[in-house]
Structure 1
Amino acid sequence: MEVHSGEKPHSCKVCGYSCSVKSNLVTHMKIHTEKKQPACKLCRYSCSKKSLLAKHIRTHTGEKPYSCEVCGSSYSVKSSLVIHMRTHTGEKPYFCEVCSYSSSQKAHLVTHMKTHTGEKQHFCEVCGYSFSQKSNFLTHMRTHTGEKPHFCELCGYSCSQKSSLVKHMRTHTGEKPYTCEVCGYSSSGKSHLLAHIKTHTGEKPHSCEVCGYSFSHKSNFVTHMRTHTGEKPHSCEVCGYSCSEKSSLVKHMRTHTGEKPHSCDVCGYSFSQKSNFVTHMRTHTGEKPHSCEVCGYSCSQKVTLVKHMRTHTREKSILL
């Protein structure tokens, strides 16, 4: 009846607010009794604790009060420093219950677990490909959009993946962080080192089902398969020439551009192909690496040795 009569018997003793229903007064009183949520004065962010607000404020100020005593790296949040310190201590407190995998971050373990569950919740609507990691999904989408957000400030090179830019920068710095423990060989990319290791182990995991030939590098295997399929995916936009290897197209393009990147420091002669340059240098060094097993004749070019060998085969035919 109070609602219909307009009577408001429930009053707030703090501000005088009154209402007809007691539950509404209870809700109202929370304005006075509950603590106001800490809010950021620079943006609309608010939180339940002052400590969380303090962390947030650092995103505006750039303050990083937590520093690593080992390498000097600094962080705005203590938890980030704790995770970073594991790169020095090698600590990996998060373990997979299915296999022996362990990680320094819980997020990495969560991602790893998807390799067991097969969960792939990130789906590409363009080609139907799916991914377990959002980062891989975002990188994949750039193959459709053509986006290349990572730029080299030295030469203007751009790429879709940050890891590709890191590798590219080594072409400027000369850094080769991957070293072979057997012979000391070093490389700028991990994949190059893994390929090199196979020269020591003799491992050739890529086998051709057509002719039985095997390869240590997958790229060489793929190129070899084109000798059977006849595929020539690399085409010249100038004359229509096509070939099975990208390196062959690069050499071919020099017939149009006239580029001769291989130059002799002795006489200044330049060449479009490295193999011709190497052969030319032997005219200065006197090197003759190609030898005849019959008479000991040696020469600087393989083609010259092939011609020479015919002098022995002709001798045999005359004697017969």
Structure 2
Amino acid sequence: MSNKPHSSKVCGSSFAHKSNFLSHMTTHTGEKPHSCEVCGYSFVQKSHLLDHIKTHTGEKPHSCEICGSSFAQKSQLLRHMKTNTGEKLHSCEVCGSSFVQKSHLLDHMKTHTGEKPHSCDICGSSFARKSTLLRHLKTHTGQKPHLCEVCGSSFARKSNLWDHMTTHTGFKPHSCEVCGYSSAQKSHLLTHMKTHTGEKPHSCDVCGSSFATTSNLLSHIRTHTGEKPHYCEVCGSSFGQKSTLLDHSKTHTGEKPHSCDVCASSFAQKSNFLRHMKTHTGEKPHSCEVCGSSFVQKSNLLDHMKTHTGEKPHSCDVCGSSFARKSNLLSHLTTHTGEKD
């Protein structure tokens, strides 16, 4: 006699216990007899209801031994553990992408079909995944229910809070096999990997420039629209990118966290630091197609090009002399002031 005498006539699955068989049959009938008294959500199995109730009580008995994260449901812990092991059993037959969870694969498949069944009632935006729609809705409500107990920062998504917590713990589990770069967030590693592959799938409809990430594309588009949504509360200056605002803010605080190991010069902005470093390496990546002259900074090349076009946009208010470069104008002005460097 079979060890699993209870079989489903619908799909052929068999079970050792009748209770398990009856629970399974509800997956075919759609019956969800176990309801939550708090929110009304209903479940096929009582065990699922008991797990769900922990989301109301806050109980999280299942802990990850690697990073300490805790979960209300054992299934959530098991899914989380795969993020530590890197195990991805579910692969896309179209593009080869692989996923930890089958549900993530099913959601991913909609990127190939273009299906976006979940729509926002407020602005009409539609999404392939319900979870993406729920996150999007918080952009309208401004809701940020997930609070960091260390520094008080709040986040719309719990996953963002988890990612943020690594800034306090220093935990960076995602490593690049090519160069050893490590990151707290997997998304940052995936973005980094494009620096090795050269992949730039996001293109600008205006000028054709392509970018590795959507965020970089959106920042670039502002160079066409002139939009500068990030404002400095000290002086009112506005910027297209938040990172530029953060760098600018250091000019008010006097903070210069980027130091040169060669000459000990320090800089408020990383971009200025990187430009400075080229003065030590002698690197001049920006070349003039007319005469072959090369420059450390692109802005210097653009100024140089005016010597070929004859353009002189910088004029002296004292004598009317005009110059191709602003630096030449500033030098000229000292002839009127008598200032000597």
TM-score by length of 1: 0.56
| Match in the other structure for 2:143 | 118
| Match in the other structure for 1:231 | 254
The one-letter code of the counterpart of 1:199 is T
**Distance (whole Å) between structure 1 residues aligned to residue 170 and residue 101 of structure 2:** 35
Mapped contact 1:270–1:277 kept (Cα < 8 A): no
**RMSD across aligned positions (CA):** 5.2
| Match in the other structure for 2:112 | 88
Mean Cα deviation higher: 122-131 or 299-308: 299-308
Q: How does 1:1-320 map to 2 (within 5 A)?
A: 36-37=16-17, 49=24, 68=93, 71=95, 82-96=106-120, 100-112=124-136, 116=141, 118=143, 120=145, 122-208=146-232, 213-227=237-251, 229-234=252-257, 236=259, 241-251=265-275, 258-262=280-284, 273-274=296-297, 278=301, 287=308, 291=312, 303-304=327-328, 307=331
Cα deviation per residue 1:251-279 (whole Å; 9 max; x = unaligned)? 55678xx433337999xx998x5479859
| Match in the other structure for 1:318 | none
Aligned length: 258
Change in 2 beyond 3 A, CA 1:47/1:105:
farther
1:245 positional shift: 1.8
Work out which of the two has the higher radius of gyration on C-alpha atoms and give 1 or 2.
1
Structure 2 unaligned runs (5+)? 7-14, 28-81, 83-87
| Match in the other structure for 1:11 | none
The one-letter code of the counterpart of 1:234 is P
Change in 2 beyond 3 A, CA 1:71/1:307:
closer
Structure 1 unaligned runs (5+)? 1-31, 39-45, 53-58, 315-320
**Distance (whole Å) between structure 2 residues aligned to residue 83 and residue 220 of structure 1:** 35
Mapped contact 2:120–2:126 kept (Cα < 8 A): yes
**Distance (whole Å) between structure 1 residues aligned to residue 299 and residue 105 of structure 2:** 55
The one-letter code of the counterpart of 2:209 is Y
Mapped contact 2:89–2:98 kept (Cα < 8 A): no
Change in 2 beyond 3 A, CA 1:135/1:170:
same
**What percentage of aligned pairs have identical amino acids?**
43
**Distance (whole Å) between structure 2 residues aligned to residue 244 and residue 75 of structure 1:** 40
**Distance (whole Å) between structure 2 residues aligned to residue 158 and residue 187 of structure 1:** 22
TM-score by length of 2: 0.53
